[in-house]
A and B are shown apart, each in its own frame.
Chain A
Amino acid sequence: MKIEKGKISGLHLMFSVSCFLQASTLLTSFFVSISKRDSWIAVLIACVAFLPVLWVYLRLMESHPGKNLFEINDAVFGRIAGRIISAIYTSFFLTLTSLNLRDMGDFVKQTIMSRTPYVVLIGICMVMSAWDVHSGGLRQITKFGFAFTVTSLFIVIFTTVQTAGQMDLNNFLPMFDMPLETYAHSANIILTIPFAELIVFLPIFCNMENPKQKLRKYVFGGFAIGGATLLLVTLRDTAVLGNTMDFFAMPAFETLRMVSLTQTLSRMEILFAFILITLLFFKITWLYYITVISTAQVLNFRDYRQLVLPVGMIVTVYSFILYPNVLAHIASGREIAPLLWLVCEVFLPAVTLLVGKIKKAIRSARPSGGGTAAPASNNDPSF
């Protein structure tokens, strides 16, 4: 049974992926505080390290054509075990939604509206998202992707040009000066926090129009745009802020504060605030939508719209109680999340793919009756 029946075009999917990644690129302090001026190297390492993960995701989708993540779980692990695993994914998506909502609330509260109650900031965002999820659904949400991606790319490039005068290329030197585990740690954070969060697209990859050929192309294209934005932002911040970069909770925000081409073209941080809120809104809406359809799928609802409000309430409350303060949030983002999330983001999909392959191999070996179970996975007719 499919919860979402709408179809989206490949381009929409691509821009949703890139937009989703860009929403995280602006909050770089998690890894910048660890790998400092060599952060861009960590970004490159993470980009390379993510490719096999992306391959697992795409392979998983391709080996079960027309099925979404939850149907694959059911098919591979059986009804009960499959449901349990789907429930784990769902709770992960729920946590992600709350975390991003929290990020958005923290950002607005700390930088722009310091006296506005948290609940108002979050509440308004959630009302908008709920409306979007309820009335718009998949097609409407993904339509925004293109506009948001282009806007944020434009702003990132525009501000890079503007801060060019403040850049000092010596800030990148000396390179490779830190112990190896620093790079590993930092790359791990980049891999788990923005990149592998793309797992939230697994439930809807099957909703793409004629997915057979182009899925890889579009998903990779989206990832390339998102990754390039992250790299550009990291390079720009390093060049401008130098060794003070790891001080700030939001290096990109501080970089834009430095912009002053002339007296009139300064105070550009509002652009950052604008684009960050826009992108985070997209990300929250997307995660919210995915959480709602996952919950509907796990609990056997026919129409996911009934779940929009209950899930929204849980997300809102959850975002309040997630962390007692910013310090705990940062500590968790640095130490716990990169390891714990790997379970959902990499381990589970990989296991699913592997078990699926083995089952298929056994099944195809059984009718022929031969003791030599052929490794049939590669010439499987389904792809």
Chain B
Amino acid sequence: MNRHLKKTVRALVCFLLLFGLTGCWDSRELDTLSIVTGVGIDASRKADQLELTFQIGKTEKEPGKEASGGTGSAFLLMEASDPNLLSGMETLKFQNSRALFLHHNQVIIFGKDLAEKGIKSYLDIFMRSHETRMEVWLLVADGDARSILKTETQQDKISAVSITRMILNQRKVSQQTGVNLLNFTSQLMDKTISPTALMIRNIEQDGEKKLALCGLAVFKDDVMVGQLDNYLTEGFIFGAGDVTGGIVNITAEKGTASLNVVKSQCKLTPILSGDGSITADMKIKTQLDIGEIHGFQDMNLMQVEPVLKDYATRDIEMKVQSCFAETQRLNADIYGIGAAVHRSDQKEWKSMEDIWHQIYPKIKLSLDVQVEIRGTGKISDSLTMKEGQS
């Protein structure tokens, strides 16, 4: 009798444990979720209100049904206006048969108007919530975020996914451009570094709307103070770290050429001199491949190479210098020179930290660009060059 009882109790315990293992309380079925792919946050005309846009990816159509249904877009937008993000999401619950699911959110886009007012307080929810990740991309729309999310892109139907791919392509050129929430917060927490974020805008070609990345938004603390266009952005990435892609275009007297950037490294060392002035010493080493050559008649490659080198050096110098000058005008230390001083000289730094905004515009730039041309591609002399030689 006793043994039977024991066995029964054991079996019962095992059986009851099974129920616990399913995690039924937190079950979420795919067809009850609205999978958010992008979040747009804009300033509203009303004071203290936010215009929130959530882009929700639709699941793929079932293959058989394609003919019957119309060609709807691959996503839908849900909008709310509310002073807070979370309560805005809460109001959407009343309009939606499914729950918003933020785990797969790809991008957070701030409208330019809002970015110019400051965005610090809106980041909290994205860090606090258990549904969100720090690897989500942060962008500023040149205009309003809603219209960016609304754009139907061609190849990747969901624009947030398309933006993500664009950013990943950019990051193959330089890690400095694509900024995710972790990078942004990390820069924000360092008092002197000015955070940056990629900017994106709508362009229209042949009546079709497209998206294009257009440089960097520069923040001072959490307030957007300026904008670097694509040219200045190139200058920034050359001066800020490693570059592993992109092109340097040069126009010489006798012809033009495009050079592929194979690899470019920048070493930035702040030099403190006795009188309190700081020189930012940038040493840039760039390796280029010849990508395309026009002109240069009567010359062979041996003669062209020093010309290309010379012009490429000047081109990179130009870009870096104009970008640096622009950041000094904005008084925004996007290179993290302050942080570099902090790393190298902690004692001096204590006196500088609070007045860094006075110091930064006075920093002198000493630039040293070394260009090396490595490869020539599959051919050496170009057709136009051959013409002259014969």
Interface residue ranges, A against B (CB under 8 Å): 110-117, 120, 123-124, 127-128, 131, 170, 173-174, 177, 241-244, 247, 254, 257-258, 260
B26 touching A111 by the CB < 8 A rule? Answer: no
Which B residues are in CB contact (< 8 Å) with A258?
A: 133-135, 182
* Contact yes or no, B17 A128, CB < 8 A: yes
Number of A-B contacts defined by CB within 8 Å:
55
| Contact yes or no, A257 B130, CB < 8 A | no
Which of chain A's residues have a CB closer than 8 A to the CB of B189?
A: 243-244
Residues of B within 8 A of A120 (CB): 20, 25
Do residues A113 and B25 form an inter-chain contact, with CB atoms below 8 A?
yes
Residue ranges of B at the interface with A (Cβ–Cβ < 8 Å): 13, 17, 20-21, 23, 25-26, 127, 130, 133-135, 182, 185-186, 189-190, 339, 342-343, 346
Which residues on the A side are within 8 Å of B182 (C-beta)?
241-242, 244, 258
What secondary structure prevails in chain A residues at the interface with B? helix
* Closest CB in chain B relative to A273 CB, distance in Å: 12
CA–CA, A112 and B185, complex, Å:
25
Q: Establish whether residues A124 and B17, one from each chain, have CB atoms under 8 Å apart when the complex forms.
A: yes
- Using A120-B20, A241-B182, A260-B135 as known contacts, say yes or no to A110 and B343 having CB atoms under 8 A apart: no
| A127 contact set on B, CB distance < 8 A | 13, 17
Which B residues are in CB contact (< 8 Å) with A242? Answer: 182, 186
A residues within 8 A CB of B190?
243
Query: Looking at B186, B189, B190, which has the most chain A CB atoms within 10 Å of its CB?
Result: B186
Q: Is the CB of B343 within 8 A of A257?
A: no
Residues of B within 8 A of A110 (CB): 130
For B23, what are the chain A residues with a Cβ–Cβ distance below 8 Å?
112-113, 116
Chain B, residue nearest A260 (CB): B135
Report the bound CA distance from A116 to B23 in whole Å: 7
Q: Which residue of A lies closest to B350 (CB)?
A: A177
**Cβ contacts under 8 Å, A131 to chain B:** 13
Knowing A115-B25, A117-B25, the reply to whether A173 touches B343 (Cβ < 8 A) is yes
List 27 contacting pairs A-B, 8 Å CB cutoff, sorted by A. A113-B25, A114-B26, A116-B26, A123-B20, A124-B17, A124-B20, A124-B21, A127-B13, A127-B17, A128-B17, A170-B339, A173-B343, A174-B342, A174-B346, A241-B182, A241-B186, A243-B189, A244-B134, A244-B182, A244-B185, A244-B186, A244-B189, A247-B127, A247-B185, A258-B135, A258-B182, A260-B135
By a CB distance below 8 angstroms, the chain A residues around B133 are 257-258
Residue numbers in B under 8 Å from A111 (CB-CB): 130
Specify which chain A residues have a CB less than 8 angstroms from the CB of B346 in the assembled complex: 174, 177
Q: How far is the CA of A110 from the CA of B346 in the complex (A)?
A: 39
Contact for A257 among B135, B185, B339, CB less than 8 A: B135
Residues of B within 8 A of A115 (CB): 25-26
Bound CA span A110–B129, Å: 10
Starting from the known contacts A116-B26, A254-B134, A257-B135, 10 additional A-B residue pairs (CB-CB under 8 Å) come to A110-B130, A113-B23, A117-B25, A120-B20, A123-B20, A124-B20, A241-B182, A242-B182, A244-B182, A257-B133
